[in-house]
Amino acid sequence: MELSRRDAVAALAALGLGGGAAAMYTRRDGGDDGDPQSGTEDEEIDVRDDHAERVAVAAAEVLYPSQVTGVEQFVTEFLGPRLNQDGHGDGIREAVGIVGDRAQRWYGAEFDALDPDRRDQLLREMGVDTADEAPDGTDAERVRYYLVNDLLLALYASPTGGELVGIENPQGHPGGTDSYQRGPP
């Protein structure tokens, strides 16, 4: 089942980042602002956000069910405005840094360079699978909150994610008032 741009927009809308907020996010490569000035703080953030996107896509490839396709585009579309969100974006960058640090220390490679089984293993070794999400918690709890659960929330609050489970209008998605009246498709 393919994730579409509509799914990413819907996931963003469920988090208060629809419409203007999504449109305001401009990528340096292909965005309206063009290339950043060399050596500026903006460039530093852009480099970190490129890294964050690669790590998030690599994580999603492990976190999302195997029948889902279009993960890279979905995660990229979702993550951009999320990284721009006050406070939350920094939390994502920090979580990505934690995961990257562990990958380098334990396996001598970037997280996104590890094969999927190793990525899965790394997250479990960090205790992210058994951690409760907490934005101000331990490393595992913050990774769970800002990276793992952010990506799971994006997927399962989207129409395609909902359909995987059997619900066309999942909680958080403003999918109207028709589907609750209908029987199973």
In angstroms, the CA 84 to CA 80 distance is 7
Contact at 8 Å (CB) between 17 and 85?
Answer: yes
Contact at 8 Å (CB) between 47 and 54?
Answer: no
Binding mask 3-22 for another protein (x = CB under 8 A): ----------xxxx-x----
Q: Does 168 bind another protein (CB under 8 A)?
A: yes
Kindly state the smallest distance separating residue 137's Cβ from another protein, in Å: 8
Identify residue 6 by its one-letter amino acid code.
R
Written as six digits, the tokens of 31 are 């965005």
Q: Which is nearer to another protein, 68 or 103 (CB)?
A: 68
Kindly state the smallest distance separating residue 91's Cβ from another protein, in Å: 11
In angstroms, the CA 155 to CA 67 distance is 13
Residue 137: CA count within 13 A, CB half-sphere = 14
Q: Which is nearer to another protein, 105 or 182 (CB)?
A: 182
Q: Does 1 bind another protein (CB under 8 A)?
A: no
Instruction: Identify which range of 31-39, 50-58, 60-68, 99-107 contacts another protein by CB under 8 A.
Output: 60-68
